[in-house]
Structure 1
Amino acid sequence: MKKIKAYLKGVNRKRLFKWLVAPVSLLVLFFALNFIFPLPDHIEYSTIITDDKGEVIHAFLTKDEKWRMKTELNEISPLLRKTIVHKEDKYFYYHPGVDAIAMTRAFVKNIFRMKRTSGASTITMQVARALEPKRRTYFNKVIEMFRTVQLEMKYSKDEILQMYLNLVPYGSNIEGVKSASILYFQKNPDHLSLAEITALSIIPNRPSTLVIGKNNDKIIVERNKWLHRFAEDKVFTEKAIKDALEEPLTATRTSVPKLAPQLAYKLKKQGGDNIHSYINLNMQLKSEKLVQDYVRTLSFKNIHNAAVIVINNETHRVVTYVGSANFSDTTDGGQVNGAAAIRQPGSTLKPLLYGMCLDAGLMTPKMTLTDVAVNYDGYAPENYDKQFNGYVTMQYALEHSLNIPAVKSLRMLGKDKFVQQLSSCNFMQIRKDQRKLGLSLILGGCGASLEELTALFSLFANDGKFVAPDYVQYDADKSKKKTDKKSSNKKVETVLSPASTFMINEILSKVNRPDFPLNWQSTEKMPKIAWKTGTSYGRRDAWSIGYNKHFTVGIWVGNFSGVGVPDLSGANVATPLLFKIFNTIDYDSDKDWFRQPKDCDIRMVCSETGLPPGDHCTNLVTDYFIPLTSSTQTCNHMQEVMVSADEKISYCKMCMPEVGYKKKLYKIIGADMQAWMTERKITYEKIPPHNPNCEKIFKEGSPAIVSPSNNAEYFINRKDPEPLQLACNTGNDVSRVYWYINNKFYKATDAKSKIFFIPEEGPVKISCTDDKGRNRDIWIKVKYVSL
């Protein structure tokens, strides 16, 4: 008995071993083949660009010239899923990829009828066939089943259904439900009706004979057959089936949308299949039409292009992007992206400069600057109108976009500090050229794009905080809440304080400015905005960038060829388009404006200097300032001087007589302003000449040599040498100056006179001494050349 039991036990073990060997061997073989022949599941999709609502606004063909747009999982609506699964593979969610029952049934039918009358391909098997197309043979069927198992192991059922919907053929070069939906019905798959989905579901079976737009009658017949089957199987309600049967089919193939082309090409370079932008299509189309119509009116002036960017200031999203007046216009470079092109920014950087000066405590809006001729190591900036204005306030200088006060302010603040701030605000060309840039950058002597400038100006609408604008939606497959959360976590850089931002906003929102466009009538309902214009050197670029609480709008107008036009200016050419855009996107919405922040206060200042009043200040005005930051130095524009009774001689403490003198107030006027006033014959009360018998040597207030320029190199024609001018600025108590060339006396002259000399070749030392014994030296280098 024991022997029998032992024998039976051994037999069972052998059987169990045999039963395990086969499946284990198959499993090992499968994984080996899976390693050797990996699943060819790399699918190239058409790059598509969608707007803020997910509608396709632009698309690109794949490398093999196919329209194969990727249908995302969230675009597979329950209606689409239910229709496709019931028609193609009822048990899709229940079988392991291969439906053994369906395959057996199909095999038996085909054997008895001696021809292929029924297929048994599941949705997964159809995906495998689409990934690796082969001839219909039994051996290839085995390969197809192997690929099917690979798919089922690697992907979920929903992902496999997504792949099927992306690969299903619709004739010609159209593949995928989304491509067919866009090209035939001009809508996304999740917006298709039951009738439209059913019509699309039958085309892959006969893509060459059932072509939408050509065979619509045949498609309706086949569609209705399947709708009746759905009714028999009670897949949908009677009303849904009835509505679908009555729905006409008028669809035909259309072109793929080609909207916002420059932005589409820009985003395509970033990579991705479905790129979700924040473009507001309604706003985009209106802006494109305005730009095209506006540029058409400028063509007779030889101005042929413009670009526009609109940023939503609350979300920091780019909602409109117009790269040129007409993308299809090849005669004027319509395909160039003017919004991304690097151009000279003109005066558009001045608001940031003055805002930084306010925060540095260097000035307040009513503080005075001098707008007179200057020369910084050979750089002599000029104003737009070639004129000088003398004393001006910072507010006036910004309102009138004066160049010389801006250059002086940049020198005060520090060029490197300003460049560093622009670099941190993503000005890429400025970051690249930062070592080459000089004081001229504030007048446009640098490179910037409309994208960068519009992003910069959006900080004025956000309390001085810079946030790089978003062009595309990240985490598009996730919930809107998560997307918004990610946007809110973006890096925020505080560039200006709320106080300085508010002051700049107040200045730039005034309409009684010289850069208000001429003959502009449509301002009655225009929203209140702040804006700044700019015109590049040679009148090649016209800029106007404006903002309010809702939007920041950047405008560039000019020619892509870089040809300058005499009539081109930011005020008269770019600003009218800015106003038109604002009138369209934010009509009559001036109720919500920026409020004065807590860190901004008001004080009384002297109207002469903009400083808190001193003992001799009589004319006072109100001015904004930043407590604990703005200068508290009191005004000292008046100087008490001891003069003789007849006011012809002035005294210092060293030479003051015991009797026979009196004290008198004189206005302190700098040497540069004295020169300006003298040239324009503006009278001012001068301090009398100092006591000639005084032996004191003064150390401060030495003459400022304005010509020639210190450290400059001069090339002089050897055959016909031109003399160099000697000129200086002195204090108003100086009457004569003495010039020395290479330590040798040259000539004595009045303080305001200009004389000339022909220098020797090589390094030349030039000295100027005034009648108080104060001296200033400069060096120049002279080369004689044959011309």
Structure 2
Amino acid sequence: MKKGESSLKRKGIWILVGLLAISYYWCLPKTLFDTTYSTCINSKDGKLLSAHIANDGQWRFEAADSIPYKFKESILLFEDEYFYYHPGFNPVSMARALFQNIKSGSIKSGGSTLTMQVIRLAFNRNRTLFNKLIETIQATRLELRCSKDEILQMYSVHAPFGGNVVGLEAAAWRYFGRPAHQLSWAESALLAVLPNAPSLIHPGKNRSRLLEKRNRLLTKLLDNNSIDSTDYYLSLAEPLPDKPIALPQLTPHLLHQQMKQHGEGTMQTCINYILQKQSNQIVDKFYRIYRQNEVHNIAAIIVDNQSKQVLSYVGNCNSQSSEYGHDVDIIQASRSTGSILKPFLYAAALDDGILLPKMLVADIPTYYSDFAPKNYTEKFDGAVPAHTALSRSLNVPAVRLLDDYRVERFHTLLKKIGISTINQAPSHYGLSLILGGAEANLYELTSTYASMAGVLNYYTNNNSTYQANAYQSAWIKTNADDLATPTNTLPPLSAGAIYHTFEALTNVQRPENEAGWENFTSGRKVAWKTGTSFGNRDAWAIGVTPEYTIGVWVGNASGEGRPAIIGGSAAAPVMFDLYRLLQPTSWFDIPYDDLQPIEVCKETGFKASINCFNRDTLYVPLVEKDLPVCPYHKIVHLSNDGKYRVNADCYPASQIRNESWMILPPVMAWYFQSKNPGYKKLPPYLPGCKPNDESPLEIIYPKPGAQLVVPKEIDGSIGRIVCKASHQNRSETLFWHLDNEYLGSTRHIHQMEILPQQGNHTLSISDEKGNIIKRHFNIPSL
């Protein structure tokens, strides 16, 4: 052979070797298994909470951290004893299989190693000699790419276990109802033999063959000293599993919520497994009670305030059925807020300096151009302390406060503290925003209350510093970032305002079974707020302690209202039962560094004026603006015996007694004295001493210069405008005139229906003593 030809031949050989090497290197795809997995969510300690079948209709779980020892021993002894010693194929096993197949005239044994079986599972080829050769080559390549344990893990994840069950972990749950690492020797042995003949698992089909295969493997484990005789005989006595078991569905709504947000796969959550089971039981208990009143849906969530982690997530009750909307995740659904936003406004007003915790606020008939707010009882107190108005959830004081604070500012505040669902313009909601005119979901509301608790906890525990990004949604997955970063940036609501808000909310009247809680050592102090939407469609209850925040919603997913859907009587009992599942709780420390002491008037709660003689010291949030000073205490001049009011023009100056007197405006006084018998009415004037400019009369409605619209009744007829007035003397008779035309008289309850024509009008009201008051208003053209 010529030298040139020899060189060319060698080059050709090297090229061929190179091509073969490249082909060998690339004979396996980068991803061996391009399959979908069942979506699973696990509790914080790794227990399965809920699972959803993979897109291809198979129950297939992602790989676990390691292969259970019992299954590993069983599968190696049954399928591939020399797994850790061969390069991907076992020549001895293949020769033996070839001899057996030739002898029998049919395929009795394949001689495949576990590595070769992984290749077959990945490519699903027909069983031919040529394909067997390809599998052998690819098996050796897989051995070079992956460790033995990684290969064994691939097999355990993708091996068939009968029906639509794929992989060890899915099989353990479907046939035994628990994870693979908790299986017994008998159960592990059964799953080890099953991929070899997966059809045997079906109930009533070849059960004796399956039992024989399992027991044969158990005998082999005994002979191999993998198990002792005790385990062996106990394992032989274990029965085979019956039909597949349904997978756990402790948090089905959370499962679907996480699938929407994060896609498929196994997810680790913050859920406490035991607490979740107990929460489900409590919700189901109340569902069985409430459904008698045609109330079919309950949702509840528990948040750890320190970590902001969700410990329990009950998206709805009776989740095994779609009837009555049980498949709807109410925790994420936007619903009418009712009164649940009122604490945010209270805290904001404290921070703004327009409100003090014990300050008297007006609770009187109030009218706006678009609506007239009413309390739940449809009664008025005249004046109530601000913290009482919050704890009693009075609507009129809340609307008046929002009017003072401004809807636009409150709308912005809600976004800052994490309420994203209120996304229309402020004008869209108006003053009804505070009474349920907007929608929010239980997840964000509970997160916001938990954030408030977190702000207060962090401030008092970390040298009066604030937490960065404190107002965020509670964490469901465990890979949340740490929020505990000191910052000098003030949060939307201060620690001082939050503390006073929570203190006020501890006085909310509890359900009957919680009465007298403070007298029991097991009782716990809870700041909590309820809400009931218009038409009794939504009942809310959210409770806060330093450690936990619990949110509950009760109603119908369809939006159908029922009389029983009331926050205090429907949602609150569920919330307090959930609190009983938790460890004993404490109470918040007072954030003194965020508070300032001021002197307040004991009777009115305002900052004490020079006329307030009965004072108290109160710690209120730090504000830079002037705080509201008591407008109700005035110095009155009395006769020497205190029976009459006098002045220096009609009474000897040396005998006048000067006293500080709480004087409410006539409308407030009229309602206030009916609820507060101790309220001291002013003495009458000494005859001849009454000033000319003081009137005991006040018109409640209409307001001065108001433009009134004549309402229409349901049947289309023209309605009447109801005018209201008050008098310092409740028993006084009032005489009503419209444009000098006499309308009639009233006593005790002073209201009069009128039907004025288009144009300007004057309403005149007088009493028996000749006092008169007038009010001008307009009826515009339509």
**Aligned residue in 1 for 2:289:** 297
1:723–1:106 CA distance, 2 compared to 1 (3 A): closer
SS at match of 2:62: coil
Equivalent residues of 2:83, 2:113 under 8 A apart: yes
Q: Which runs of 5 or more residues in structure 1 are unaligned?
A: 232-237, 475-482, 695-701
Residue 375 of structure 2 contacts residue 395 of structure 2 at CA under 8 Å; is this kept in 1? yes
1:201 to 173, 182, 192: 192
Please give the secondary structure, in 2, of the residue aligned with 1:463.
helix
Does residue 444 of the first structure (1) align with residue 431 of the second (2)?
no
Counting matched residue pairs gives 735
Aligned to 1:52, the other structure's residue is in SS state coil
Measured on the aligned residues, the alpha-carbon RMSD in Å equals 4.9
Q: 1:781: which partner in 2?
A: 780
Q: 1:554 aligns with which of 551, 555, 568?
A: 551
1:125-204 equivalences in 2 (<5 Å):
125-141=116-132, 144=135, 158-204=149-195
Cα deviations across residues 407-426 of structure 1 (Å, max 9, x unaligned)? 12222222222222323444
Could you tell me how far 1:660 is from its partner in structure 2?
Answer: 9.3
CA distance in 2, matches of 1:144, 1:433: 66
Structure 2 gaps of 5+ residues are 457-469
Letter in structure 2 aligned against 1:343: R
Under a length normalisation based on structure 2, what TM-score does the superposition of the two structures give?
A: 0.79
Measure, in 2, the Cα distance between the counterparts of 1:250 and 1:526.
Answer: 49
Distance in structure 2 (CA, Å) of the matches to 1:720 and 1:383: 28
Q: In the alignment, is residue 505 of structure 1 matched against residue 505 of structure 2?
A: no
**1:526/1:705 CA distance change after superposition, 3 Å:** closer
Aligned to 2:232: 245
In the other structure, the counterpart of 2:630 is: 635
Does structure 2 retain, via aligned residues, the 8 Å contact 1:437–1:446?
Answer: yes
Q: Does the 8 Å CA contact 1:515/1:571 hold for their aligned counterparts? A: yes
Are the equivalent residues in 2 in contact too, given 1:185–1:251 (CA < 8 A)? no
Question: C-alpha separation between the residues in 2 aligned to 1:720 and 1:14?
Answer: 109
Does structure 2 retain, via aligned residues, the 8 Å contact 1:96–1:149? Answer: yes
Conservation of the 8 A alpha-carbon contact between 2:221 and 2:227: no
**TM-fit CA distance, 1:106:** 5.3
CA contact (8 A) 2:702 2:775 kept: no
SS at match of 2:574: helix
**Structure-2 separation of matches of 1:173 and 1:719:** 65
Determine the C-alpha separation between the residues in 1 that align with 2:92 and 2:344.
Answer: 75
The reply to whether residue 392 of structure 1 matches residue 392 of structure 2 is no
Q: Deviations over 1:587-620 (max 9, x none)?
A: xx24x22111132355441023323323221222
CA contact (8 A) 1:71 1:162 kept: yes
Which of 581, 602, 609 lines up with 2:604 in the alignment? 609
Corresponding residue number in structure 1 for 2:568: 571
2:472 alignment partner AA: V
Judge conservation of contact 2:708–2:777 (CA < 8 Å) in 1: no
Aligned to 1:466: 471
Aligned match of 2:618 in 614, 619, 623?
623
- Would the alpha carbon gap of residues 114 and 409 (structure 1) be closer, same or farther in structure 2, given more than 3 Å must change? same
Q: How do 1:139-538 and structure 2 match up within 5 A?
A: 139-141=130-132, 144=135, 158-209=149-200, 214-215=207-208, 217-228=211-222, 231=224, 238=225, 240-242=227-229, 244-248=231-235, 249-252=238-241, 253-270=244-261, 271-328=263-320, 332-432=324-424, 436-464=428-456, 465-474=470-479, 494-510=491-507, 513-517=508-512, 524=520, 525-538=522-535
Q: Does the aligned pair in 2 maintain the 1:49–1:275 contact within 8 Å? A: yes
For residues 223 and 211 of structure 1, the distance between their equivalents in structure 2, rounded to whole angstroms, comes to: 20
1:706 aligned onto 2:705: no
Q: CA deviation at 1:263?
A: 2.5
**Structure-2 residue corresponding to 1:18:** 12
The residue aligned with 1:76 is: 67
1:581-620 mapped onto 2 (5 Å cutoff):
581-586=578-583, 589-590=584-585, 592-598=586-592, 599-620=594-615
**CA distance 1:260–1:720, change in 2 (3 Å):** closer
Q: 1-side partners of 2:143 and 2:736: how far apart? A: 97
CA distance in 2, matches of 1:594, 1:724: 50
TM-score by length of 1: 0.78
Aligned residue for 1:308, secondary structure, equals strand
Change (3 A) 1:140 1:719: closer
Bigger CA drift: 37-46 or 378-387?
37-46
Shift of 1:782: 3.3
Question: 2:218 corresponds to which letter in structure 1?
Answer: N
Stretch deviating more after TM superposition (532-541 or 292-301): 292-301
Paired with 1:691 and 1:677, the residues of 2 have a C-alpha distance of: 26
Q: Percent identity?
A: 28
Q: What is residue 463 of structure 2 aligned with on the other side?
A: none
CA deviation vs aligned residue, 1:670-719 (integer Å, no higher than 9, x gap): 46536757999994468987668x9xxxxxxx998635994554456999
CA distance in 2, matches of 1:99, 1:23: 25
**Deviation of the 1:11 alpha carbon:** 7.2
**Contact 1:703/1:768 (<8 A) preserved:** no
The C-alpha deviation readout for 1:51-83, integer Å capped at 9, x for no partner, is 2222223222234432222223x1424565565
Question: Residue 645 of structure 2 contacts residue 683 of structure 2 at CA under 8 Å; is this kept in 1?
Answer: no
1:181-203 C-alpha deviation (Å, 9 max, x unpaired):
11223222233455543332222
